[in-house]
Amino acid sequence: MEWIGDLERWVANTVYPWRIPLALVLVAAAGVLGVVLARRGILGRVLARGRARPVLSGVLLVLVIATAGPATYYLTAPLWTRSALQESNLVTVPTAEGGAMASGVGAGPSAEGARLIGQGDIAGADAFHFGRGRAELIALDGAHILQVREFSVRNGPDLFVYLSSSATRPDAGAVQLGRLKATDGEFRYDLPPGATLPANPHFLVWCEQFAVLFASASLAPGS
């Protein structure tokens, strides 16, 4: 269903920045259309026909609600639904002086042997698909951890977290880390055993069902 994703991207990039003036224009246009239909008697005739066939009108109304209601809720409800998670097992990378890496200050103890191999600021894909926070890629005990701090992103259906060489979509060598745990907070993902890190990895929040990027971060080598 990538065509829905294409439509959403078009709306996000073309319509959403003009949402307020467009809404005002649509409200004004609907008001003018209602007045015209009422003055020409069209609105009255439509209502009269509906009253003349109450059973048919009721069945049609129920069918429209039963079809459009669930579909609209599925597609739009996640956009305003929020969730929060604060995990306690985040890793703070120690510095050579024995302190904590500035980008790693937060919940979780300093872990000996932990090495920050990539970090970057999270940004939304566009004005509608907002995103912010910090993504960190950490090597520890022969494994890799991806964690996010001060994270927030637009919610949506079927969101997954990836590490990918591409900054815009999961590529052939991308590593899927699982479903997005929450829209807000601080949490981590352990890379699957044996997973190969992509070259020049990027953190992605990706809508699997409609192929839409919500947020990303370039994980440049840490210092």
Q: How many CB atoms lie within 10 A of CB 15?
A: 11
| Model confidence pLDDT, tens digit, residues 78-94 | 667 899 999 999 998 87
Question: Per-domain residue ranges for the chain?
Answer: 2-80, 84-218
Q: Distance between CA 99 and CA 110 in Å, rounded? A: 8
Confidence at 38, pLDDT banded by 50, 70, 90: confident
Q: pTM for this structure? A: 0.71
| Model confidence pLDDT, tens digit, residues 145-177 | 999 999 999 998 899 999 999 999 999 999 999
Which CATH number describes the domain made up of 84-218? 2.60.40
Q: Distance between CA 171 and CA 162 in Å, rounded? A: 10
Q: Distance between CA 61 and CA 67 in Å, rounded? A: 10
